[in-house]
Amino acid sequence: MSSVMRIHSGLGIAAFLSCSVVLFSFNYNTEDILNGRLKKIGDALISSSFQEGLHMVDRAIAYTMKRNRVMDTLSSPIQMLSFLKRAEPESQEISRAAEIWETTLQLVKERIHQKHKRSINATDLLSTDELKMIADMSGCLSHLQPPICPKHCLASKYRTITGACNNRNNRRWGASNSALARWLPAQYEDGYSQPKSWNPGHLYNGFELPPVREISNKIFRASDNTTSDDNAYTRTIVEWGQYIDHDISFTPQSTSKATFKGGLDCRHTCENLNPCFPIKIPPNDTFSTKKDCLPFYRSSPACGTGEQVVLFETLTVSNQRQQINALTSFIDGSTVYGSTPALENELRNLTSEEGLLNVNTRFSDNGREFLPFVAQVPSPCAQDLGDPDGVRIECFLAGDSRSNEVISLSALHTLWVREHNRIARTLKKLNTHWSAETAYQEARKIVGALHQIITMRDYVPKIIGISAFHHYIGPYGGYDPSINPTVSNVFSTAAFRFGHATIPPVLQRLHHKFQEHKNLSSLSLHEAFFSPWRLIKEGGLDPVIRGLLSKPATLLTPDHIMSKELTEKLFVLSNPGALDLASLNLQRGRDHGLPGYNDWREFCGLHRLETQASLSTVITDLNLVQKIIDAYSHPNNIDVWLGGLVEDTVPGARTGPLFACLIGKQMKNLRDGDRFWWESDNIFTESQRNELAKHSLSHVICDNSGVTEVQTDVFKLGQYPQDFVSCNHIQGLNLEAWQENPNRVGTCNSPPRIKNGNFVLCTMSAQIVVVYSCYFGYKLKGSEEMTCTDSGWSSDPPICKDINECEDLLKPVCHRSAKCKNTNGSYRCLCSDPYVLAEDGRTCIDSGKLPKGSVASVVLAFVALGCFAALFLFAVRQW
């Protein structure tokens, strides 16, 4: 063999070995896992199915991460939707585990069918131990375990950031990263996980379900962009609905944007292949696309769902696919503070003695704070293309990832961060003996209560009407531990999306006299998507807030159900293409297997409407009724979101009877099933409750913006100036109701401080107790509590010790493709050249570049070949 051939062969072998190492590294060293666990089962079918399922899911996720890495701007509507639906890392881990669980069981089912020529549910043949083992290896089992709840006195004083342990008997009720509640069983085409309209030719009441884009074109399409104004309510009520929805529910979509089988990019296929569920585009559609479909990604499944019911000791796994709510269900201000410890830690200013939240350090709004920017840059938000200096404005960081969706929503998020910091500073001045942790937790508790008050007192009665409010919600009777507060699938996916029909197509920005701003023109809605630069460079919050206060919401009418900005231009920036919000909502409902419109009417005790004549009793526009019948062929086939949306509104409300019922039931559950509801016993003192009841969104705006005149109720439409009052006349809470004795703590001196942690005081059995906690990334060593006795504190304070996350082999923080390096309070996942860290911060993916070592090797090889050739020629000449 020649030297050149040897070199080539050597390089080829080295490349092969390198690729093999990387490949097997990325696939979690599955052989090691299988040798350690699956061989105990002794079942080759399960072994091969798990190994293949793991490979399929991880390959698709790796492809998605690599694709996302090259996306530094949101250049298409589908990218914007994907960015909007991207979950926090903890939710992504749960999603991955659930996809592996479901894919493995599906493979087992298919192989049994191939072998025995009959369809058998995988879980009918697998033992509980075998199912538990698959759940353990997939990562699902750890997420299904009930959380460990604190037993100290703070457990009754402050809610956990995840919402867990609110109900002491059902610890996961309302917690983040739990399955949405089902009030009626899902209707999947295979009974377990396949969406409605997944299988061509599948009939419902003798008819196929119409494609969702066809429904949008026939029923939702408006002839122009004109809308009817609401003569009672402002655009603020629309924005609050969106904001509070983002406080209680977020269903992330699949972490993969490629099919698990075959690895096809969902953008390039019109087949229904999990997780791709494309929206079919009818012929001669107005969308300018060369394809027959729009990409659509299924929602992430919750762990342990999608097959038959399984009991893991105390763990119950649903027999149908369920979807995750990544947020706490409670109205608790998670839009401000997040729903996971990691995000909360990122949002907090831990160096502040006042318990503040982080704010923007580069820009301010006339001396007031902006939200901080995300850490990962460049972020994909739109940029000011007209800026001659090219100054980048990154996406904002907030408690909910959708805060950048539209600048009016970003403005509300900003107001509440300012409100928290305002309250925390004042509380610290009133209570100089308080720790930063106490100031933070008390401010957070107040902000959460204000969210509850504004929503239940000022917002919900206007939406469902006073009569429905009394019927479905009624007066507060105290906390009821038998009520499950978990947000329901039908509420999140259908009923509370009624607000999409009330969004105006234009966002106005007004000057201090509430007139059109000469320097800031009104924006079409699509011009305000993902554009935080407009707040920072174009006048700040005040012009946007004035537009929300004085401009009307949109009123749904039969010929203008939804604005063309939402059905034809959703998430349009500078590039061609768009999405259709009506189609997305309908497809999402089918993805989740929501029962139809009439099933939900029956659930609410309303009459089923199974004829065209009976439909016309709740939808008085006969032309609209005819359109619905023409589209669906049978009333029982009507999608619940559409049916509930087009019902005639209840008197004094903005929803029809079905959505009034579903929203009312959900709001009652959120109130009565919340142990920390602001009116509940022992949450606030009577004087504190009296002060909280005085506050309003009007006062929040006055305290945290440059707006000086508002309506007393900012949801009610009024004329300027006669219906506006000075902020000086708006009543608000007096924080002196939270003032405590600053001198001593019982008979003890102020508790000692600890490094990388903090403390909060509380009372238990008439004794003063101090409870210590560590910052995220640290753990307590020593006693968590100290009690004040006659001789002083009962023990020495604990210390906060760094957690070495890299030592956790059961739940590794870094992917096997990365090397974990521990740091104080955190860790880093490191990649070897030419691999780089993906967006999840834990996985290494190919950078697409040659490794530096490989480049050097190639150069040295050519140098060596050159030297060898020169020596060979020299020897020949000498010969």
Residues 181-202, mean pLDDT to the nearest whole number: 96
pLDDT band at 858 (very low <50, low <70, confident <90, very high): very low
Q: With pLDDT > 70 as the criterion, what percentage of the chain qualifies?
A: 84
Query: What residues are designated binding site for heme b?
Result: 500
Q: Which residues contact 214 (CB under 8 A, 6 or more apart)?
A: 280, 282, 631
Give me the helices (H) in 593-704, please: 597-603, 612-615, 622-632, 640-646, 657-672, 686-694, 697-704
Cα dihedral 496, 498, 502, 505 in deg (nearest 10)? 90
Alpha carbons 319 and 186: distance in angstroms, whole number: 10
Scan for tokens 């003890």, then name that residue: 748
Over residues 661-677, mean pLDDT:
99
pLDDT at 4 over 80: no
Could you tell me which of 767, 773, 769 has the C-alpha nearest to residue 751? 769
Residues at the annotated binding site?
500
For residue 10, the model assigns a pLDDT of 46
Range in 40-49, 667-676, 725-734 with the lowest mean pLDDT: 40-49
Residue 358 tokens, joined: 């982080």
Instruction: Check whether 497 has a pLDDT greater than 60.
Output: yes
SS (H, E, C) 330-389: CCCCHHHHCCCHHHHHHHECCCCCCCCECCCCCCEECCEECCCECCCCCCCCCCCCCCCC
pLDDT of residue 742: 61
Three-class secondary structure of residue 837 per DSSP: strand
Nearby residues of 520 by Cβ (< 8 Å), 6 or more positions away: 509, 538, 539, 543
pLDDT, tens only, 545-590: 999 999 999 998 888 888 777 776 665 444 445 678 899 999 999 9
What's residue 75's pLDDT?
56
Q: Which has the closest alpha carbon to 554: 200, 230, 803, 831?
A: 230
Given this model, what pLDDT does residue 116 score? 65
Please answer whether residues 166 and 485 qualify as being in contact, where contact means their C-beta atoms are separated by less than 8 angstroms: yes
Residue with the bigger pLDDT between 558 and 20: it is 558
| Residue-wise pLDDT tens digits, 451-480 | 999 999 999 999 999 999 999 999 999 999
The type of residue at 454 is: I
Q: Is the pLDDT of residue 363 over 60?
A: yes
**How far, in Å, CA of 336 to CA of 404, rounded?**
14
- Write out the catalytic residue numbers: 246
Compare 706 and 748 and report the one with higher pLDDT: 706
- What pLDDT is attached to residue 372? 98
Distance, in Å, from the CA atom of 55 to the CA atom of 107, rounded to the nearest integer, reads: 12
> 357 phi and psi, to 5 degrees?
-95, 155
The helix (H) or strand (E) run that includes residue 312 is strand 310-312
For the chain, how far is it from start to end, CA to CA, in angstroms? 24
Residue 502 CB partners (closer than 8 Å, separation 6+): 230, 237, 238, 241, 553, 554, 555, 556, 654
Model confidence pLDDT, tens digit, residues 67-96? 776 555 555 666 666 677 778 889 999 999
pLDDT score of 666: 99
- Residue 509 CB burial class (10 angstroms; 0-12, 13-18, ≥19): buried
Mean per-residue pLDDT of the chain: 86
pLDDT confidence of 867, banded at 50, 70, 90? low
> Has residue 825 got a pLDDT over 60?
yes
- Reported as a pLDDT band with limits 50, 70 and 90, residue 8 is very low
C-beta of residue 393 within 8 angstroms of C-beta of residue 362: no
- pLDDT tens digits for 826-857? 888 999 888 888 777 788 887 766 555 544 44
The alpha-carbon radius of gyration of the chain (Å, integer) is 29
Helix/strand/coil (H, E, C) string of 274-309? CCECCEECCCCCCCCCCCCEECCECECECCCCCCCC
Positive or negative CA dihedral for 139, 143, 145, 149? positive
pLDDT tens string 418-429: 999 999 999 999
Collapsed DSSP state (helix, strand, coil) of residue 394: coil
Give the type of residue at 635.
Answer: P
Q: Which residues pair with 554 in a beta bridge?
A: 229
- From residue 878, give the alpha-carbon distance in Å to each of 99, 871, 875: 70, 10, 5
Beta 368-369 vs 364-365: how paired, if at all?
antiparallel
Distance (Å) of CA 65 to CA 163, 382, 596, 836, 866: 30, 21, 36, 11, 41
* Ramachandran region, residue 835 (left: φ > 0; alpha: ψ -120 to 50; beta: rest): beta
Mean pLDDT, range 334-341, rounded to an integer: 97
Any residues with CB less than 8 A from the CB of 44 and at least 6 apart, and which? none
| Span 302-319, pLDDT tens digits | 987 654 334 444 444 457
What does DSSP assign to residue 748? B
CA 347 to CA 566: how far, in whole Å? 31
User: Distance between CA atoms of 661 and 644, rounded to whole angstroms?
Assistant: 10
pLDDT of residue 761: 85
Tokens of 580: 């259709």
Mean pLDDT of 501-522: 93
Average pLDDT over every residue of 477-500: 97
- The rounded distance, in Å, linking the Cα atoms of 608 and 615 is 9
Tally of residues, the chain: 879
pLDDT of residue 39: 41
pLDDT tens sequence across 589-647:
999 999 999 999 999 999 999 999 999 999 999 999 999 999 999 999 999 999 999 99
Task: Enter the pTM of the model.
Answer: 0.88
Cα 406 to chain center, whole Å? 16
pLDDT for res 18: 40
Residue 767: in which H helix or E strand, if any? strand 767-774
Calpha distance 272→201 (Å, rounded): 13
- Would you state the pLDDT for residue 219? 93
Give the whole-number percent of the chain exceeding pLDDT 90. Answer: 61
Residue with tokens 């490349």: 15
Q: Is the peptide bond before 812 cis (omega within 30 degrees of 0)?
A: no
Tell which wins on pLDDT, 23 or 211.
211
Determine the 3-state secondary structure of 172 from DSSP: coil
Angle between helices 235-248 and 407-430 (to 10 degrees): 70
How far apart are the C-alpha atoms of 508 and 551, rounded to whole Å?
Answer: 8
- What confidence score (pLDDT) does residue 747 get? 75
CA distance 199 to 697: 48
Residue in 664, 673, 497 with CA at minimum distance from that of residue 592: 497
Do residues 368 and 346 lie in contact, with contact meaning Cβ atoms separated by under 8 Å?
A: no
DSSP string for residues in 175-239: -TTEEPB-SS----TTSSSPPTT-STT--BTTBPPPPHHHHIIIII--SSS--EEEEEEEHHHHH
